Structure 1
Amino acid sequence: MDRKQIVFDYLGRYALRYDYYEHPAAPTIELARLYWRDDGSKHCKNLFFRNHKGDRHYLVVFDCDRNLAIRDLERRLRQGKLSFASEQRMERYLGLRPGSVSPFGLINDTENHVHLFLDRNLRQQHSLSFHPNDNTGTIVIPQAEFIRYLDGCGNSYEFIDLY
Protein backbone atom coordinates (compact mmCIF):
# COMPACT_ATOMS: atom_id res chain seq x y z
CA MET A 1 0.00 0.00 0.00
CA ASP A 2 1.10 3.57 -0.68
CA ARG A 3 2.98 5.00 2.36
CA LYS A 4 0.98 8.23 2.18
CA GLN A 5 -2.32 6.38 2.02
CA ILE A 6 -1.48 4.48 5.21
CA VAL A 7 -1.08 7.84 6.97
CA PHE A 8 -4.28 9.30 5.48
CA ASP A 9 -6.23 6.16 6.45
CA TYR A 10 -4.89 6.29 10.01
CA LEU A 11 -5.67 10.00 10.44
CA GLY A 12 -9.13 9.46 8.98
CA ARG A 13 -9.86 6.47 11.22
CA TYR A 14 -9.27 8.64 14.28
CA ALA A 15 -10.96 11.72 12.78
CA LEU A 16 -7.79 13.80 13.13
CA ARG A 17 -7.89 17.14 11.30
CA TYR A 18 -5.04 18.07 8.96
CA ASP A 19 -4.25 19.79 5.68
CA TYR A 20 -2.21 18.25 2.92
CA TYR A 21 -0.44 19.45 -0.18
CA GLU A 22 1.74 17.74 -2.75
CA HIS A 23 5.07 18.90 -4.15
CA PRO A 24 8.09 17.45 -5.97
CA ALA A 25 10.28 15.03 -4.00
CA ALA A 26 12.02 16.86 -1.15
CA PRO A 27 14.35 14.50 0.75
CA THR A 28 16.20 17.33 2.52
CA ILE A 29 15.15 20.45 4.41
CA GLU A 30 16.95 22.58 1.83
CA LEU A 31 14.85 21.14 -1.00
CA ALA A 32 11.65 21.10 1.02
CA ARG A 33 11.98 24.86 1.69
CA LEU A 34 11.41 25.42 -2.02
CA TYR A 35 7.90 23.97 -1.77
CA TRP A 36 6.63 24.86 1.69
CA ARG A 37 3.56 27.04 1.83
CA ASP A 38 3.28 30.08 4.05
CA ASP A 39 0.68 28.41 6.25
CA GLY A 40 1.97 29.42 9.69
CA SER A 41 3.03 25.90 10.63
CA LYS A 42 6.41 24.97 12.06
CA HIS A 43 8.30 22.66 9.74
CA CYS A 44 10.22 20.00 11.60
CA LYS A 45 13.45 18.11 11.19
CA ASN A 46 13.21 14.41 12.07
CA LEU A 47 16.26 12.29 12.84
CA PHE A 48 16.32 8.57 13.58
CA PHE A 49 18.98 7.24 15.96
CA ARG A 50 20.00 4.03 17.65
CA ASN A 51 21.94 3.52 20.85
CA HIS A 52 25.42 2.01 20.94
CA LYS A 53 24.12 -1.55 21.50
CA GLY A 54 21.54 -1.18 18.74
CA ASP A 55 18.70 -2.34 20.98
CA ARG A 56 16.99 1.04 21.45
CA HIS A 57 15.82 3.45 18.75
CA TYR A 58 14.86 7.10 18.97
CA LEU A 59 13.12 9.54 16.71
CA VAL A 60 14.14 13.12 17.48
CA VAL A 61 11.93 15.95 16.21
CA PHE A 62 12.84 19.63 16.35
CA ASP A 63 12.57 22.98 14.57
CA CYS A 64 13.97 22.70 11.05
CA ASP A 65 15.74 26.04 11.51
CA ARG A 66 17.90 24.64 14.29
CA ASN A 67 20.86 22.27 14.21
CA LEU A 68 21.89 19.68 16.75
CA ALA A 69 25.30 18.14 17.25
CA ILE A 70 25.11 14.43 18.08
CA ARG A 71 27.41 14.83 21.11
CA ASP A 72 25.17 17.60 22.51
CA LEU A 73 22.13 15.45 21.82
CA GLU A 74 23.71 12.52 23.67
CA ARG A 75 24.19 14.70 26.75
CA ARG A 76 20.62 15.99 26.62
CA LEU A 77 18.92 12.65 25.98
CA ARG A 78 21.09 10.68 28.43
CA GLN A 79 20.76 7.50 26.38
CA GLY A 80 24.47 6.83 25.93
CA LYS A 81 26.35 6.95 22.66
CA LEU A 82 24.07 7.51 19.65
CA SER A 83 24.51 7.02 15.94
CA PHE A 84 22.21 7.44 12.98
CA ALA A 85 20.19 4.29 12.44
CA SER A 86 20.78 2.44 9.19
CA GLU A 87 18.36 2.44 6.28
CA GLN A 88 17.51 -1.17 7.17
CA ARG A 89 16.61 -0.24 10.74
CA MET A 90 14.57 2.70 9.50
CA GLU A 91 12.59 0.37 7.24
CA ARG A 92 12.23 -2.28 9.97
CA TYR A 93 11.02 -0.02 12.79
CA LEU A 94 9.33 2.88 10.97
CA GLY A 95 8.58 1.44 7.55
CA LEU A 96 10.37 4.44 6.04
CA ARG A 97 13.22 5.34 3.75
CA PRO A 98 15.76 8.13 4.22
CA GLY A 99 14.41 11.51 3.22
CA SER A 100 10.87 10.72 4.35
CA VAL A 101 11.25 10.30 8.12
CA SER A 102 8.48 11.74 10.25
CA PRO A 103 6.51 10.91 13.40
CA PHE A 104 3.90 9.36 11.09
CA GLY A 105 6.32 6.44 10.77
CA LEU A 106 5.23 5.44 14.27
CA ILE A 107 2.06 4.06 12.65
CA ASN A 108 4.28 1.26 11.33
CA ASP A 109 5.93 0.58 14.70
CA THR A 110 3.27 -1.81 15.93
CA GLU A 111 5.44 -3.03 18.81
CA ASN A 112 6.06 0.56 20.01
CA HIS A 113 9.80 0.04 19.95
CA VAL A 114 10.79 3.60 19.00
CA HIS A 115 10.86 6.33 21.65
CA LEU A 116 10.07 9.85 20.44
CA PHE A 117 11.89 12.93 21.72
CA LEU A 118 10.39 16.27 20.70
CA ASP A 119 11.84 19.67 21.36
CA ARG A 120 9.82 21.45 24.04
CA ASN A 121 9.62 24.60 21.87
CA LEU A 122 7.36 22.75 19.43
CA ARG A 123 4.61 22.80 22.07
CA GLN A 124 4.29 26.56 21.48
CA GLN A 125 3.45 26.11 17.79
CA HIS A 126 -0.13 26.25 16.55
CA SER A 127 0.54 23.58 13.92
CA LEU A 128 3.38 21.36 12.75
CA SER A 129 4.38 20.12 9.30
CA PHE A 130 5.74 16.70 8.37
CA HIS A 131 6.09 14.46 5.34
CA PRO A 132 3.33 11.81 5.27
CA ASN A 133 5.98 9.02 5.16
CA ASP A 134 6.72 10.04 1.58
CA ASN A 135 8.69 13.14 0.66
CA THR A 136 6.36 14.22 -2.17
CA GLY A 137 3.88 15.88 0.16
CA THR A 138 3.43 17.76 3.41
CA ILE A 139 0.86 17.33 6.15
CA VAL A 140 0.06 20.34 8.32
CA ILE A 141 -1.52 19.19 11.58
CA PRO A 142 -2.76 21.34 14.47
CA GLN A 143 -0.86 20.87 17.73
CA ALA A 144 -3.84 19.36 19.59
CA GLU A 145 -4.49 16.90 16.77
CA PHE A 146 -0.82 15.93 16.70
CA ILE A 147 -0.89 15.15 20.42
CA ARG A 148 -4.02 13.05 19.88
CA TYR A 149 -2.13 11.23 17.13
CA LEU A 150 0.86 10.56 19.42
CA ASP A 151 -1.37 9.35 22.25
CA GLY A 152 -3.14 6.98 19.85
CA CYS A 153 0.07 5.48 18.46
CA GLY A 154 1.12 4.08 21.80
CA ASN A 155 4.83 4.87 21.46
CA SER A 156 6.47 6.56 24.41
CA TYR A 157 7.27 10.21 23.83
CA GLU A 158 8.42 13.27 25.70
CA PHE A 159 9.00 16.94 25.11
CA ILE A 160 12.45 18.01 26.29
CA ASP A 161 14.84 20.93 25.94
CA LEU A 162 17.00 20.03 22.95
CA TYR A 163 18.92 23.34 22.71
Structure 2
Amino acid sequence: MDASSAYQDSLPVSSDALLAQLDDWGIDYRLHEHVPLRTVEDAKGVEDAIMAEGEVALRLKNLYLRDKKKRNHLISLEQDRDVDLKALGAELGLGNLSFGSADRLLENLGVRPGAVTPLAMINGRDHNVRFYMDKAAQNADSIYMHPLVNDRTIGLSRDAFLAVMDRLGVEIQWV
Protein backbone atom coordinates (compact mmCIF):
# COMPACT_ATOMS: atom_id res chain seq x y z
CA MET A 1 0.00 0.00 0.00
CA ASP A 2 1.14 3.51 -0.68
CA ALA A 3 0.80 6.53 1.60
CA SER A 4 -1.99 8.25 -0.33
CA SER A 5 -5.52 8.97 0.82
CA ALA A 6 -6.74 6.01 -1.26
CA TYR A 7 -5.53 3.81 1.62
CA GLN A 8 -6.30 6.11 4.55
CA ASP A 9 -8.95 3.77 5.94
CA SER A 10 -6.20 1.24 6.72
CA LEU A 11 -4.53 3.72 9.11
CA PRO A 12 -5.29 3.88 12.85
CA VAL A 13 -6.59 7.43 12.30
CA SER A 14 -7.60 8.39 8.77
CA SER A 15 -6.71 11.73 7.23
CA ASP A 16 -10.42 12.53 7.00
CA ALA A 17 -10.86 11.79 10.72
CA LEU A 18 -7.86 13.99 11.59
CA LEU A 19 -9.23 16.88 9.53
CA ALA A 20 -12.65 16.43 11.16
CA GLN A 21 -10.93 16.61 14.58
CA LEU A 22 -9.18 19.84 13.59
CA ASP A 23 -12.57 21.22 12.47
CA ASP A 24 -14.15 20.19 15.80
CA TRP A 25 -11.37 21.98 17.66
CA GLY A 26 -11.91 25.12 15.57
CA ILE A 27 -8.41 24.93 14.08
CA ASP A 28 -8.05 26.91 10.85
CA TYR A 29 -6.03 25.22 8.11
CA ARG A 30 -5.65 25.36 4.36
CA LEU A 31 -6.03 22.00 2.63
CA HIS A 32 -4.34 21.28 -0.70
CA GLU A 33 -4.76 18.06 -2.66
CA HIS A 34 -2.04 17.05 -5.13
CA VAL A 35 -0.17 14.09 -6.56
CA PRO A 36 1.49 11.88 -3.93
CA LEU A 37 4.70 13.47 -2.66
CA ARG A 38 7.31 10.99 -1.55
CA THR A 39 10.38 13.20 -1.18
CA VAL A 40 11.38 16.78 -0.44
CA GLU A 41 12.17 17.17 -4.14
CA ASP A 42 8.61 16.04 -5.01
CA ALA A 43 7.24 18.60 -2.55
CA LYS A 44 9.27 21.42 -4.07
CA GLY A 45 7.45 20.75 -7.33
CA VAL A 46 4.08 21.81 -5.87
CA GLU A 47 5.13 24.54 -3.41
CA ASP A 48 4.30 27.48 -5.66
CA ALA A 49 0.71 26.26 -6.04
CA ILE A 50 0.30 25.77 -2.30
CA MET A 51 1.96 28.66 -0.50
CA ALA A 52 0.75 32.24 -0.28
CA GLU A 53 3.01 34.79 -1.85
CA GLY A 54 5.29 36.51 0.62
CA GLU A 55 4.52 34.34 3.64
CA VAL A 56 7.31 33.11 5.86
CA ALA A 57 6.63 29.41 5.54
CA LEU A 58 8.27 26.38 7.07
CA ARG A 59 8.19 23.33 4.85
CA LEU A 60 9.14 20.19 6.69
CA LYS A 61 11.05 17.02 6.28
CA ASN A 62 10.21 14.51 8.97
CA LEU A 63 12.44 11.78 10.32
CA TYR A 64 11.21 8.76 12.26
CA LEU A 65 14.24 7.63 14.25
CA ARG A 66 15.15 5.14 16.94
CA ASP A 67 17.99 5.34 19.41
CA LYS A 68 20.13 2.52 20.76
CA LYS A 69 17.72 2.10 23.68
CA LYS A 70 14.96 1.45 21.08
CA ARG A 71 13.12 4.66 21.96
CA ASN A 72 11.17 6.28 19.12
CA HIS A 73 11.63 9.88 18.00
CA LEU A 74 9.91 12.06 15.42
CA ILE A 75 12.05 14.96 14.30
CA SER A 76 10.56 17.66 12.06
CA LEU A 77 13.07 19.98 10.41
CA GLU A 78 13.11 22.65 7.74
CA GLN A 79 13.12 20.69 4.49
CA ASP A 80 16.50 21.95 3.24
CA ARG A 81 18.37 21.46 6.51
CA ASP A 82 21.27 19.02 6.23
CA VAL A 83 21.02 16.22 8.77
CA ASP A 84 23.93 14.31 10.23
CA LEU A 85 22.32 11.61 12.37
CA LYS A 86 25.43 11.14 14.49
CA ALA A 87 25.68 14.87 15.25
CA LEU A 88 21.92 15.14 15.80
CA GLY A 89 21.97 12.22 18.24
CA ALA A 90 24.82 13.84 20.15
CA GLU A 91 23.09 17.25 20.19
CA LEU A 92 19.89 15.70 21.59
CA GLY A 93 21.75 13.46 24.05
CA LEU A 94 20.33 10.34 22.41
CA GLY A 95 23.47 8.64 21.17
CA ASN A 96 23.37 6.81 17.87
CA LEU A 97 20.20 7.27 15.85
CA SER A 98 18.91 5.17 12.98
CA PHE A 99 15.80 5.22 10.83
CA GLY A 100 12.88 3.18 12.12
CA SER A 101 11.40 0.51 9.86
CA ALA A 102 8.21 0.97 7.86
CA ASP A 103 6.47 -1.54 10.14
CA ARG A 104 7.48 0.36 13.29
CA LEU A 105 6.51 3.63 11.64
CA LEU A 106 3.00 2.34 11.04
CA GLU A 107 2.82 0.79 14.52
CA ASN A 108 4.08 3.84 16.42
CA LEU A 109 2.99 6.81 14.31
CA GLY A 110 0.16 5.31 12.25
CA VAL A 111 1.54 6.46 8.88
CA ARG A 112 3.45 4.99 5.97
CA PRO A 113 6.78 6.14 4.52
CA GLY A 114 6.27 9.32 2.54
CA ALA A 115 3.55 10.63 4.85
CA VAL A 116 5.51 11.22 8.06
CA THR A 117 4.27 14.39 9.72
CA PRO A 118 4.07 16.10 13.12
CA LEU A 119 0.33 15.34 12.97
CA ALA A 120 1.21 11.65 13.32
CA MET A 121 1.70 12.44 17.00
CA ILE A 122 -2.07 11.85 17.23
CA ASN A 123 -0.89 8.23 17.33
CA GLY A 124 2.67 8.70 18.56
CA ARG A 125 1.65 10.20 21.88
CA ASP A 126 0.17 6.82 22.85
CA HIS A 127 3.39 5.01 21.87
CA ASN A 128 5.84 7.17 23.82
CA VAL A 129 7.25 8.79 20.69
CA ARG A 130 9.24 11.91 21.52
CA PHE A 131 8.65 14.91 19.27
CA TYR A 132 11.30 17.41 18.22
CA MET A 133 10.63 20.49 16.10
CA ASP A 134 12.97 22.81 14.27
CA LYS A 135 13.29 26.14 16.11
CA ALA A 136 12.65 27.81 12.74
CA ALA A 137 8.94 27.07 13.35
CA GLN A 138 8.94 29.70 16.08
CA ASN A 139 9.44 32.39 13.41
CA ALA A 140 7.24 30.99 10.65
CA ASP A 141 3.91 32.47 9.61
CA SER A 142 2.77 29.07 8.36
CA ILE A 143 3.90 25.47 8.66
CA TYR A 144 3.10 23.00 5.90
CA MET A 145 2.70 19.28 6.51
CA HIS A 146 0.87 16.18 5.39
CA PRO A 147 -2.35 15.27 7.26
CA LEU A 148 -1.29 11.58 7.61
CA VAL A 149 -1.31 10.95 3.82
CA ASN A 150 1.05 12.18 1.11
CA ASP A 151 -1.43 13.42 -1.49
CA ARG A 152 -2.66 16.20 0.78
CA THR A 153 -0.86 19.07 2.45
CA ILE A 154 -2.24 21.42 5.05
CA GLY A 155 -0.97 24.82 6.01
CA LEU A 156 -1.34 25.84 9.63
CA SER A 157 -0.42 29.14 11.19
CA ARG A 158 2.29 28.80 13.83
CA ASP A 159 -0.29 29.42 16.55
CA ALA A 160 -2.68 26.87 15.08
CA PHE A 161 0.11 24.28 14.93
CA LEU A 162 0.99 24.93 18.57
CA ALA A 163 -2.69 24.66 19.51
CA VAL A 164 -2.94 21.28 17.78
CA MET A 165 0.12 19.97 19.61
CA ASP A 166 -1.32 21.25 22.88
CA ARG A 167 -4.69 19.58 22.18
CA LEU A 168 -2.86 16.33 21.46
CA GLY A 169 -0.91 16.64 24.71
CA VAL A 170 2.40 16.61 22.84
CA GLU A 171 5.42 18.25 24.40
CA ILE A 172 7.55 19.90 21.74
CA GLN A 173 11.29 19.75 22.21
CA TRP A 174 12.88 22.49 20.11
CA VAL A 175 16.04 21.80 18.11
**Superposition TM-score, scaled by structure 2 size:** 0.86
Determine helix, strand or coil for the equivalent of 2:126.
coil
Asked if structure 2 preserves the Cα contact closer than 8 Å seen for 1:99 and 1:135, the reply is: yes
- Aligned mates of 2:83, 2:17 — CA distance in 1: 30
Correspondence for 2:44: 33
Any gaps of 5 or more consecutive residues in structure 2? 1-7
Distance 1:49 1:73, change over 3 A: same
Match of 2:101 among 86, 108, 115: 86
Higher helix share: 2
- Aligned mates of 1:109, 1:65 — CA distance in 2: 25
Asked if structure 1 preserves the Cα contact closer than 8 Å seen for 2:89 and 2:95, the reply is: yes
- Aligned mates of 1:31, 1:77 — CA distance in 2: 29
Correspondence for 1:8: 19
Match of 1:46 among 47, 58, 62: 62
- Kindly state the Cα deviation for residue 110 of structure 1 after the two structures are TM-superposed: 5.1
Give the RMSD, CA atoms, in angstroms: 1.4
* Identity percentage of aligned residues: 28
Determine helix, strand or coil for the equivalent of 1:27.
coil
Asked if structure 1 preserves the Cα contact closer than 8 Å seen for 2:132 and 2:172, the reply is: yes
Distance 1:78 1:110, change over 3 A: closer
**Superposition TM-score, scaled by structure 1 size:** 0.92
- Kindly state the Cα deviation for residue 26 of structure 1 after the two structures are TM-superposed: 0.5
Alignment of 1:52-67 (within 5 A): 52-54=68-70, 56-67=71-82
Asked if structure 1 preserves the Cα contact closer than 8 Å seen for 2:58 and 2:136, the reply is: no
- Kindly state the Cα deviation for residue 112 of structure 1 after the two structures are TM-superposed: 5.0
Any gaps of 5 or more consecutive residues in structure 1? none
| Structure 1: 4+ residue segments shifted above 3 A | none
- Kindly state the Cα deviation for residue 6 of structure 1 after the two structures are TM-superposed: 2.2
- Aligned mates of 1:118, 1:13 — CA distance in 2: 25
